[in-house]
Amino acid sequence: MLDCIRKRDENTEPFQPAKIACAIYKAAVACGGNDFAIAERLAGQVVQLAERAFSDIVPRVEDIQDLVEKVLIENGHARTAKAYILYREKRARAQCRRVDFGDNENVHRLPRRTCQADERKRQYSEKC
């Protein structure tokens, strides 16, 4: 059973499956969905996968998010998965902006790949 999760700032917090269901539900609502029971069922699948995949280590938030995407797609909820992915990317960009403006004490702990990808996109768009 998962007890905790590693946040982006490297701190650990208690694992809360209800947050997964809420995130899935919000993505579904963005696509016109309105069935929280489906979100809870899908969240249950995410938790089951996570418990198997991370039985001996504390998963990161990004690891759980990857599993959410996988479960959504495998269960035929591609539009919801797309909304979830877009929201996830939006949050990652916002984190990079906070780093750029020095608003985050844990700058060195942000996912480098996210910020580097954002920088590459910016450089490419300047060339066009």
**Residues 102-111: tens digit of each pLDDT:** 555 554 444 4
Q: Is this structure's pTM higher than 0.75?
A: no
Q: What is the pLDDT of residue 92?
A: 75
pLDDT digit string (tens) for 24-75? 999 999 999 999 999 999 999 999 999 999 999 999 999 999 999 999 999 9
- Of 25, 23, 28, nearest to 79 by C-alpha is 28
Pick from 5, 100, 104: which is nearest to 51 by CA?
5
The full set of domain ranges for the chain reads: 4-127
pLDDT of 112 above 60? no
